[in-house]
Amino acid sequence: ESDDVRKSLIRFLEKLSPNDPQLAQRLGWNASTDPCNGTAVGWSNLTCIDKKMAVQTISLEGMGLNGTIDAGELCRAPSLAVVRLQDNFIRGILPAEISNCANLMHLYLRNNQLVGSLPSSLADLGNLKLLDLSNNNFSGELPAALSRISGLSGFLVQNNNLNGSIPGFWFRNFGAGYFNVSYNQFSGPIPEGAEDIGSASFSGNQGLCGRPLPNACSPPSPSSSPSPSPSPDQGKKDHWGTREKLILFSGYIALGLFLLAYAAYRVLRKKAAKRNKKIAASESSSPKSSFTMNKTVATGSEHPISTESAATEGSTLVVLKKSTTTAAELKFEELLKAPAELLGRGRFGSVYKVVMADGAALAVKRLKDSGGSGAEFRRRMVRVDMAARHPNVLPAVAFYCSSQGKLVVYEFQQNGSLLNLLRGSNRAGGGAFDWSWRLRVAAGIAEGLAFMHKELDSEGLIGHGNLKSSNILMNAGMDPCISEYGLVVANAGDGADKPDVYGFGIILLELLTGKPVQNDPQELAKWVNSVVREEWTVEVFDKSIVSGAGASEERMVQMLQVGLRCVNPSAKARPSMDQVASMINAVREEDERSLLVSESE
Ligand SMILES: Nc1ncnc2c1ncn2[C@@H]1O[C@H](COP(=O)(O)OP(=O)(O)OP(=O)(O)O)[C@@H](O)[C@H]1O
């Protein structure tokens, strides 16, 4: 982090703890050291992206802090994603400058003494997922635009003095226990869509009425209605009715579009067959195609999903994350209009490269109908998205779900999949990807996966369920990113991590042997086992790493053993991903040490 950021963070901490001027010093927050240097002198109570780049989380909960929040200073750290300040005695307001924390995802301020109204700029935090302001003294109305943060999946403001109406949130996004406005002074009808949220989340507000609360709203009568014109809340009801209609309508359109796309696909396939090209077999040589839904929409100039309604409230496109390649907010209609190219068809669906009007490239996966319900899919996507905060996990940018189909949008990764790289390096005679790169890739995937397993462990683990080298994409820095997390309905609960451990083991064997899996991953595992049994272990490794620089046979064999433990036919005998990551990191550290020794010699 830069000098400026370090000083700002220290000033932020000083304002937060006027009663304890030595706090910054005790926590090691010292402007002359880098918070992200990751060694013994590092700053405590914060973490950095990938342990070394930029400050990502600040955790100062339960520390007796009794000062104020200087959001201007705090938000000088550009990558800040998680701020935990709960269980203190923090006073004053939540300043409008909080919106400068453009990457903020989780903000925890519960159990403090904050006052004043919520700044309307809060709604500018387009990446916000969880806002916990409960047990404070906030007052005034909720900024209505908060409900338009499409990825918001946790909103906890219970036990404050907030008033006014509840905006029309996209309630389906909120997991159990993640929406609570109880014990405030809210009034008016609860917007539609909140029926599945328990009534306890709304109780303690004298003026609220309608489902899920037991007291129905009394129909407006001329004598009891304070204003003859429609109240803002009635307006909202209308608006929600329109939304539901639009969803229904877009469902019909999607059906038509799918049929059209299928016909287009058949034509394309015939043409491709004529040219003796296989579409599905080769990921790299797929023909230009058009994105499933684009034709009809592009030709229908008076298309009923207006840009505005599609982007904000009228469509089921849920934008989870601002794309880093484009400044513009992703809009459903533009997604449909954009030219698209079929990248490949897998067991679970097809992937298209879609280039937006401003040049940003996206990858859109259209899922085959997995049979799962839409509500379950939405919950899973939102929950996975809340967890996907690791540099080796590719977060979804948005998803779309209607009764006719499911789409998931990612940023397009120029460097392609690990599978393609391994195939390419074979064709080119190998050599491009040396031992230390392979170790780094293995460690990155293991860490990303271990992180996700840990984050998604509560209430039954969500595993990836389809981990393989075509779902490992290489980012611009050639580091691996796990893609498509959460798209497959994998087993939940005890042992749900074990298929992923197996999948990882196969990827590790692919990296070590340089033999990408063609069809059956078990074949590779059997082959490696048989060679090792015959004690021809060295024969197993990719020739290009054996002859390349930096590889030691001892560490190569250690890695092979990790891989073989992961693909043990008995799921119970496989290690957890956390153990796998530690084993690989130990090998990596040894490797780095030996490199230092050989350099100093
Ligand atoms: N975000 C992305 N950027 C670049 N390429 C991508 C992206 N997402 C997927 N791809 C590539 O698109 C191709 C097709 O992906 P798809 O997921 O359909 O194939 P698959 O992994 O074999 O199938 P499945 O995941 O359904 O089992 C693969 O080569 C994959 O690497």
- As a whole number of angstroms, the distance between CA 473 and CA 393 comes to 9
In DSSP terms, which residues pair with 139 in a beta bridge? 161
Q: Which of 216, 283, 257 is nearest to 419 (CA)?
A: 283
For residue 471, report the distance from its CA to the centre of ligand 1, in Å. 6
Q: Which H or E element spans position 132?
A: strand 130-132
| 240 CB near ligand 1 (under 6 Å) | no
| 270 CB near ligand 1 (under 6 Å) | no
Q: Which of 200, 187, 156, 190 is nearest to 174 (CA)?
A: 156
| 351 CB near ligand 1 (under 6 Å) | yes
- As a whole number of angstroms, the distance between CA 138 and CA 506 comes to 53
Query: Per the annotation, where are the binding residues for ATP?
Result: 365
Residue nearest to atom 13 of ligand 1 (CA): 344
Measured CA angle at 364 (ends 468, 322), to 5 deg: 105
DSSP 382-401: HHHHHH--STTB---SEEEE
For residue 365, report the distance from its CA to the centre of ligand 1, in Å. 8
Low-confidence ranges of the chain (pLDDT < 70): 38-41, 50-53, 176, 220-316, 322-328, 370-371, 425-432, 459, 491-493, 598-601
DSSP 137-178: EEEEEPPGGGGG-TT--EEE--SSEEEEPPP---GGGPPTT-
C-alpha neighbours within 13 Å on the C-beta side of residue 53? 8
What's the token pair of residue 363? 């990858």
Instruction: Say if residues 487 and 505 touch (Cβ distance below 8 Å).
Output: no
Residue nearest to atom 12 of ligand 1 (CA): 343
Global ipTM = 0.97
- As a whole number of angstroms, the distance between CA 29 and CA 13 comes to 9
- As a whole number of angstroms, the distance between CA 525 and CA 566 comes to 10
- As a whole number of angstroms, the distance between CA 178 and CA 134 comes to 12
DSSP 11-64: HHHHHH-TT-TTHHHHTT--TTS-TTS-STTPPSSEEEGGGTSSEEEEE-TTS-
pLDDT of residue 600: 61
- As a whole number of angstroms, the distance between CA 441 and CA 454 comes to 20
pLDDT of residue 263: 56
| 466 CB near ligand 1 (under 6 Å) | yes
Q: Which atom of ligand 1 is nearest to the CA of 417?
A: 31
| 471 CB near ligand 1 (under 6 Å) | yes
Residue nearest to atom 23 of ligand 1 (CA): 346
For residue 45, report the distance from its CA to the centre of ligand 1, in Å. 38
DSSP 567-597: T-SSGGGSPPHHHHHHHHHHHHHHHHHHHHH
| 485 CB near ligand 1 (under 6 Å) | no
Q: Which atom of ligand 1 is nearest to the CA of 419?
A: 31
pLDDT of residue 44: 86
Residue nearest to atom 20 of ligand 1 (CA): 346
Measured CA angle at 316 (ends 343, 486), to 5 deg: 55
| 404 CB near ligand 1 (under 6 Å) | no
- As a whole number of angstroms, the distance between CA 347 and CA 539 comes to 33
- As a whole number of angstroms, the distance between CA 294 and CA 353 comes to 13
Dihedral angle, C-alpha 211, 212, 214, 216, nearest 10 °? -10
Nearby residues of 338 by Cβ (< 8 Å), 6 or more positions away: 291, 294, 354, 355, 356, 357
pLDDT of residue 302: 23
CA 496 from centroid of its chain's CA atoms: 20
Residue nearest to atom 19 of ligand 1 (CA): 346
- As a whole number of angstroms, the distance between CA 345 and CA 349 comes to 6
| 289 CB near ligand 1 (under 6 Å) | no
- As a whole number of angstroms, the distance between CA 349 and CA 368 comes to 5
pLDDT of residue 337: 81
For residue 416, report the distance from its CA to the centre of ligand 1, in Å. 9
For residue 344, report the distance from its CA to the centre of ligand 1, in Å. 6
Q: Which atom of ligand 1 is nearest to the CA of 484?
A: 25
Instruction: Say if residues 525 and 507 touch (Cβ distance below 8 Å).
Output: no
Cis peptide leading into residue 220 (ω within 30°): no
Q: What is the pLDDT of residues 94-144, one digit of tens each?
A: 999 999 999 898 899 999 999 999 999 999 998 888 899 999 999 999 998
Query: Per the annotation, where are the binding residues?
Result: 365
What's the token pair of residue 373? 């319900």
Q: Which H or E element spans position 242?
A: helix 232-274
For residue 16, report the distance from its CA to the centre of ligand 1, in Å. 47
Instruction: Say if residues 306 and 383 touch (Cβ distance below 8 Å).
Output: no
Identity of the residue numbered 464? H
pLDDT of residue 55: 86
Residue among 471, 506, 507, 518 whose CB has most ligand 1 atoms within 8 A, to mutate: 471
Residue among 343, 409, 411, 517 whose CB has most ligand 1 atoms within 8 A, to mutate: 343
Q: Which H or E element spans position 235?
A: helix 232-274
C-alpha neighbours within 13 Å on the C-beta side of residue 172? 16
Instruction: Say if residues 417 and 472 touch (Cβ distance below 8 Å).
Output: yes
Task: Give me the phi and psi of 474, to 5 degrees please.
Answer: -95, 125
- As a whole number of angstroms, the distance between CA 477 and CA 50 comes to 13
pLDDT of residue 105: 87
Strands 161-164, 137-141: pairing kind: parallel
